[in-house]
Amino acid sequence: MTPQQERNSSLKRLGCAAATASAVLVLGLGLGLVILGMLDLLPVIGPQEATPTPSPTRSVEPTAIPPSPVVSPSPIETPPPDTPVAPTAATPSPSSSGSSFDYGIQVHFFHLDAGYVSQLVNNMHFNWIKHQIEWKEFEPSKGQYLWEPIDRIVEVAHGAGLNTLLSVVKAPDWARGGRSEEDGPPVDYDDGGDFMAAMAQRYCGKVQAYEIWNEQNLRREWNTGRALSAEEYVDLLHVAYDRIKAVCPSAIVVSGGPTPVGYTSPTAIDDFEYLRQMYQAGLRDYCDAVGVHPSGFNNPPDWRYPPPYSEAEDSTGFRGDRQFYFLNTIEGYHSIMSEFGDADRKLWATEFGWASIKNLSERPNEGYEYATDNTELEQAEYLVTALQIARNKGYMGVMFVWNLNFAPARGADGEQAAFGILREDWSERPAYQTLAAARTTGELP
């Protein structure tokens, strides 16, 4: 054997010895671990339960509305196809007694993209919506309820974190005893009570408040073939209140807001006198809040009658009585409530606003000539100032701006559109932008 072969053979023997030693060491260590385990000197290693990873928290910013798209010329077609995604909904938390000041706006959802409309309200940082429900459209015969369109309103608003006031008006023909001229209450108030009970039970927890009727001091809203009567209205309210509370005690019941009129005639009762008659008939026992419609016509919200001055080109026909002034209306109502020992109950402005036809239509509707006097910027300024005044008064509850979207819903030529804060093509009027900014900056806290 050569020297090189001897060296290779030695290396092989050393490698085998090392491998053998390693194997013995491993076997010995393994045997030791088994023995230790048997003696309970090592922890038993079993399947480990995974520690849950907390979900990341993030603040949800309101989704910006894209440039307002133009809708179909048909006034109640579905608007913008590019509907923004609404922010995560919050659970509505209204005061069960109707005692809190808050911000609301009247909307129109039917035949429109209700999610888009809700997003517009959320982007204003308003917490309440009001929607009118014409009873005659949803109970065509006794006990035949057509809930589906109202279901949609309620589900969308609730999902968007908005509180809802449903204003219920206009009895169906079958309930009016054959009377069909104008609108009015049912002959049997229990028919109205049945409808309200069914509605309140169905939407308990999702609809926070109900307004019972609208401007019932006008014959066109309360035509019974008899003289207008606040006592008869309170009888209807009494039935509705009891039936609502029986099935949904947390629901807020708001009395119908009279319209401001400074006279009494066969077709109207002065709203101050009407409120007194309501209290004389027992109003305070049958509502959680008192509805009011304190619009300002062509007068700034901080004016009282008589006005401090008048522009030469203004429609002076809407300056000559206290009914045309926001401040006179809310202060007068609260004074009457104080007379009857009810000063602590809140007034809910279930409808208030200023009309302007600027950049909307060419001429005002008959009887709404004051809409020519108000610019879009004045409409915006007046709404913000009115909300500031109402908040500071301390006796105002939820304030519902009249209205958000009746121009795109029903066309720009109607009187309702002039009060709206969106144009027919869904573009924002200055009032929309100003209200949203005031809520964001704290000008309207």
Does 26 have pLDDT greater than 80? no
Residue 212 and residue 254 in contact, taking contact as beta carbons nearer than 8 Å: yes
- Structural domain count, the chain: 1
b/e sequence 53-63, b meaning 16+ C-beta within 10 Å: eeeeeeeeebe
Residue 405 and residue 417 in contact, taking contact as beta carbons nearer than 8 Å: no
Chain-wide mean pLDDT for the chain?
A: 84
What does the DSSP assignment read for 7-41?
Answer: HHHHHHHHHHHHHHHHHHHHHHHHHHHHHHHHTT-
**pLDDT tens figures, 104-137:** 999 999 999 999 999 999 999 999 999 999 999 9
Does 433 have pLDDT greater than 50? yes
Residue 83 in any domain: the answer is no
Q: What is the average pLDDT across 154-166? A: 98
Residue 36 in any domain: the answer is no
Confidence (pLDDT) at 250: 97
Residue 183 in any domain: the answer is yes
Residue 352 in any domain: the answer is yes
Q: What is the average pLDDT across 73-86? A: 39
Does 427 have pLDDT greater than 80? yes
**pLDDT tens figures, 323-337:** 999 999 999 999 999
Does 60 have pLDDT greater than 60? no
Confidence (pLDDT) at 153: 96
Q: What separation in angstroms does the CA of 392 have from each of 101, 166, 254, 389?
A: 10, 26, 21, 5
User: E strand or H helix at 391, and its extent?
Assistant: helix 376-393
Residues in the chain: 445
Does 259 have pLDDT greater than 70? yes
Residue 57 in any domain: the answer is no
Q: What is the average pLDDT across 207-229? A: 98
- 117/113 Cα distance (integer angstroms): 7
Q: What is the average pLDDT across 26-38? A: 37
Q: How confident is the model at residue 315 (pLDDT cuts 50, 70, 90)?
A: confident
Q: Which domain holds residue 254?
A: 102-441
- 59/106 Cα distance (integer angstroms): 28
Residue 286 is part of a domain; what is its CATH number?
A: 3.20.20.80
Does 49 have pLDDT greater than 80? no
Does 383 have pLDDT greater than 80? yes
* pTM score of the predicted model: 0.81
- For 250, other C-beta atoms within 10 Å of its C-beta total 13
Confidence (pLDDT) at 50: 33
Confidence (pLDDT) at 97: 57
How many Cα atoms occupy the beta-carbon half-sphere of 431 within 13 Å? 32
Residue 32 in any domain: the answer is no
Does 6 have pLDDT greater than 60? no
Does 66 have pLDDT greater than 50? no
Confidence (pLDDT) at 37: 41
What does the DSSP assignment read for 42-91?
Answer: S----PPPPPPPPPPP-PPPPPPPPSPPPPPSSTTS---SSPPPPPPPPP
Measured in Å, how far apart are the chain's first and last C-alpha atoms? 104
Q: How confident is the model at residue 313 (pLDDT cuts 50, 70, 90)?
A: confident
Confidence (pLDDT) at 415: 94
Confidence (pLDDT) at 310: 82
Residue 335 in any domain: the answer is yes
Confidence (pLDDT) at 242: 98
- 30/214 Cα distance (integer angstroms): 89
Residue 417 in any domain: the answer is yes
Does 36 have pLDDT greater than 60? no
Q: How confident is the model at residue 57 (pLDDT cuts 50, 70, 90)?
A: very low
Confidence (pLDDT) at 371: 97
Confidence (pLDDT) at 224: 98
- 405/137 Cα distance (integer angstroms): 21
Single out the residue of 212, 223, 142, 231 nearest to residue 185, CA to CA: 223
User: Which residues contact residue 345 at a Cβ distance below 8 angstroms, ignoring those fewer than 6 apart?
Assistant: 98, 284, 287, 288, 289, 290, 337
**86 or 212, greater pLDDT:** 212
Q: How confident is the model at residue 311 (pLDDT cuts 50, 70, 90)?
A: confident
- For 27, other C-beta atoms within 10 Å of its C-beta total 10
Q: What is the average pLDDT across 243-258? A: 98
Q: Is 271 exposed, middle or buried (0-12, 13-18, 19+ CB in 10 A)?
A: buried
